[in-house]
């Protein structure tokens, strides 16, 4: 018999008819005359209860099935008398595909902390309710990202993961090499000779697909990349990963204002989509994880984002009378406590901060006429702070070369990037949305490590 997914069964209007469910038992409760099995197949948050009556030929054997077992149950779909469930299956045929030892299965009824799930049970945690919900929402968000851009004619460009250039110029890259770490080849001067390495040059995992996306935007007009990026920064916070996914649109013939409009429309589309398409999972997050998440998302979808320059933001922060751990002054980067204050207390909505001092931003941002600030933009949201970072790009070759020099970067690594400013340069802009920060914000999960299947952070790549 064909398999019925639990989500589809629960969407039915009426009970009746035989169904076949394949899934894992969340719990098995053997009573004297009946066994109740809560089955989940991952298609939705809700379980479907299978009821095994005393006259079932395997009643005795089925009593000792453990939570976690993989089962296939065929039977009549009946109205359920149980609280909070409309239907149940009156089990007729039951196949135990793989039993699970109830004394050893770690996801028994008692609550296991997210920390233990992450550190010791990352291989089993997708079976836990919260994680099933997180990864369904994560999937819905990736789909919505593609839909948003594809509907607007953007071309998805697959930018490389291995690269020879530092897209952010911050020197936070993981090296990619096949050289022998114990006895690498050496130059006459005694340095490691990367000329003998696989790519005949030093190579790294990319920190961003932006520079390559720019090249494609300057030909295909509207493009985006969506892929893994890597940062070897030693940040042990609830918002940083060493490996994370980033969505980076890049648009030619576009300035920072068009870029802000795109970012705002994009986030609103994503929030609207999860509220509409993931209602069951979102209700779960709203009840158990973060009581304000749905209300916050609804509010954001309905209201315009505030737009402030960095100078105005610093002014607001200085005059706020708040006691911050890191004091604010013009020229210093905003910390997440400052970003959160602006969104949560001062403005009460997402805020886009623009025109940052050039010294705290990357080399590629367009220099303003004041020669002190650049056309960067960060989108800040409540609870999290920065969710998007972007800018209008420096499209003037001479200024770009000067900025590369000022930033102490090697211009020979960027010769191809300069060429786009030499041939048909035009104003263009783009941004990067940290995909896990997005999932974190939407679900209300406190730690970014709990919204990516296998988190990579300092001292942790166990799986
Ligand atoms: O602000 P960032 O560093 O900007 C860029 O990489 C640009 N090249 C993007 C562009 O203009 N195309 O990173 C963009 C976003 C941040 O706003 C944040 O959401 C996320 O990526 N991000 C991280 N997420 C998780 N862990 C980290 N270590 C992150 N670093 C940045
Ligand atoms: Mg940033």
pLDDT category of residue 328 using cuts at 50, 70 and 90: very high
How large is the angle between the packed helices 435-443 and 129-151, nearest 10 degrees?
120
The bound ligand whose nearest atom lies closest to the alpha carbon of 428 is: 1
- Residue located nearest, by CA, to atom 19 of ligand 1: 434
- List the domain boundaries for the chain: 6-109, 127-172+207-450
- Residue located nearest, by CA, to atom 21 of ligand 1: 434
CATH number listed for the domain at residues 6-109: 2.40.50.140
Query: What CA–CA distance (Å, rounded) separates 356 from 198?
Result: 39
High-pLDDT (> 70) share of the chain, %: 100
Q: Is the C-beta atom of 431 inside 6 A of ligand 1?
A: yes
CA angle 341, 345, 346 (to 5 degrees): 90
The bound ligand whose nearest atom lies closest to the alpha carbon of 246 is: 1
Pair of tokens at residue 413: 């690594």
Q: Is the C-beta atom of 244 inside 6 A of ligand 1?
A: yes
For the sheet containing 175-176, what is the strand order? Answer: 162-163, 203-205, 175-176
**What is the distance in A from the centroid of ligand 1 to the CA of 233?**
12
Contacts of 373 (CB under 8 A, 6+ apart): 309, 310, 311, 355, 356, 357, 358, 367
**What is the distance in A from the centroid of ligand 2 to the CA of 330?**
17
Q: Is the C-beta atom of 389 inside 6 A of ligand 1?
A: yes
Pair of tokens at residue 215: 């090249």
The DSSP line for 337-360 is HHHHIIIIIIISS-EEEEEEEGGG
Q: Is the C-beta atom of 388 inside 6 A of ligand 1?
A: yes
Whether 1 has a pLDDT exceeding 80, the answer reads no
Q: Is the C-beta atom of 437 inside 6 A of ligand 1?
A: yes
Contacts of 224 (CB under 8 A, 6+ apart): 149, 154, 155, 156, 157, 213, 247, 248, 249, 250
Q: Is the C-beta atom of 429 inside 6 A of ligand 1?
A: no
- Give the model's pLDDT for residue 102: 85
- Give the model's pLDDT for residue 301: 98
The bound ligand whose nearest atom lies closest to the alpha carbon of 237 is: 1
**Residue whose token pair is 């022998």:** 180
Mean pLDDT of the chain: 96
Query: What CA–CA distance (Å, rounded) separates 6 from 90?
Result: 15
- Give the model's pLDDT for residue 456: 97
- Give the model's pLDDT for residue 108: 79
Q: What is the mean pLDDT of residues 207-212?
A: 98
- Residue located nearest, by CA, to atom 2 of ligand 1: 389
* 3-state helix vs strand vs coil in the chain, percent to 5: 35, 25, 40
Query: What CA–CA distance (Å, rounded) separates 276 from 292?
Result: 17
Please state the atom number of ligand 1 nearest to the C-alpha of residue 242. Answer: 28
Digit-coded pLDDT (tens) for 127-147: 999 999 999 999 999 999 999
Query: What CA–CA distance (Å, rounded) separates 126 from 423?
Result: 50
Give the residues across from 51 on adjacent strands. 36, 90
Helical H runs in 37-108? 59-62
CB neighbour class for 81 (10 Å; exposed up to 12, middle 13-18, buried from 19): exposed
High-pLDDT (> 90) share of the chain, %: 95
Tell me which DSSP letter residue 52 carries.
E
**What is the distance in A from the centroid of ligand 1 to the CA of 394?**
19
- Give the model's pLDDT for residue 221: 98
Contacts of 264 (CB under 8 A, 6+ apart): 304, 305, 350, 352, 379
Q: Is the C-beta atom of 387 inside 6 A of ligand 1?
A: yes
Q: What is the mean pLDDT of residues 293-316?
A: 98
Please state the atom number of ligand 1 nearest to the C-alpha of residue 213. Answer: 12
- Phi-psi category of residue 364: left, alpha or beta, with phi > 0 → left and psi -120 to 50 → alpha: alpha
CATH architecture of 127-172+207-450: 2-Layer Sandwich (3.30)
Q: Is the C-beta atom of 386 inside 6 A of ligand 1?
A: yes
Digit-coded pLDDT (tens) for 91-115: 999 999 999 998 899 997 678 999 9
Q: Is the C-beta atom of 456 inside 6 A of ligand 1?
A: no
Give the residues across from 316 on adjacent strands. none
Q: Is the C-beta atom of 241 inside 6 A of ligand 1?
A: yes
């Amino acid at each position: 018999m064909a398999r019925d997914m639990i989500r589809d069964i629960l969407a039915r209007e009426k009970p009746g008819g035989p169904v076949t469910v394949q899934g894992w038992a969340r719990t098995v409760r053997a009573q004297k005359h009946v066994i109740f099995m809560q089955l989940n197949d991952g298609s939705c948050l809700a379980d479907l209860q299978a009821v095994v009556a005393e006259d079932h030929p395997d009643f005795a054997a089925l009593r000792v099935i453990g939570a976690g077992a993989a089962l296939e149950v065929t039977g009549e779909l009946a109205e359920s008398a149980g609280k909070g469930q409309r239907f149940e299956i009156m089990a007729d045929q039951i196949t135990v595909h793989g039993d699970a030892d109830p004394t050893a299965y770690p996801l028994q009824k008692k609550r296991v902390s997210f920390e233990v799930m992450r550190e010791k049970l990352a291989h089993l945690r997708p079976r836990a309710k919260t994680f099933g919900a997180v990864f369904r929402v994560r999937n819905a968000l990736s789909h919505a990202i593609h839909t948003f851009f594809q509907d607007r004619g953007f071309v998805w460009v697959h930018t490389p993961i291995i690269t020879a250039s530092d897209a952010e110029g911050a020197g936070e890259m993981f090296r990619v090499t096949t050289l022998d770490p114990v006895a690498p080849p050496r130059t006459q001067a005694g340095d490691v000779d990367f000329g003998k390495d696989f790519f005949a040059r030093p190579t790294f995992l990319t920190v961003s697909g932006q520079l390559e996306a720019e090249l494609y935007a300057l030909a295909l007009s509207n493009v985006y990349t969506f892929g893994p990026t890597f940062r070897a920064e030693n940040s042990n916070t609830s918002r940083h990963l060493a490996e994370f996914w980033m969505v980076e649109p890049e648009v030619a013939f576009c300035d920072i204002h068009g870029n802000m409009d795109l970012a705002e429309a994009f986030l609103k589309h994503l929030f609207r989509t999860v509220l509409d398409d993931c209602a069951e999972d979102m209700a779960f997050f709203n009840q158990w994880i973060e009581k304000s998440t749905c209300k916050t998302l609804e509010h954001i979808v309905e209201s315009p984002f505030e737009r402030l320059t960095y100078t105005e933001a610093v002014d607001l922060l200085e005059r706020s009378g708040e006691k911050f751990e890191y004091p604010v002054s013009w020229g210093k980067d905003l910390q997440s406590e400052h970003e959160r204050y602006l969104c949560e207390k001062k403005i009460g909505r997402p805020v886009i901060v623009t025109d940052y001092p050039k010294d705290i931003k990357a080399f590629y941002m367009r220099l303003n006429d004041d020669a002190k600030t650049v056309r960067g933009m960060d989108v800040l949201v409540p609870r999290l702070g920065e969710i998007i970072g972007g800018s209008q790009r420096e499209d003037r070759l001479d200024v770009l070369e000067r900025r590369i020099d000022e930033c102490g970067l090697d211009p020979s690594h960027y010769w191809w990037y300069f060429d786009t400013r030499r041939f048909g340069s035009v104003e263009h802009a783009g941004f990067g949305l940290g995909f896990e920060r997005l999932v974190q914000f939407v679900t209300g999960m406190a730690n970014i490590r709990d919204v990516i299947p296998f988190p990579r952070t300092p001292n942790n790549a166990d799986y």
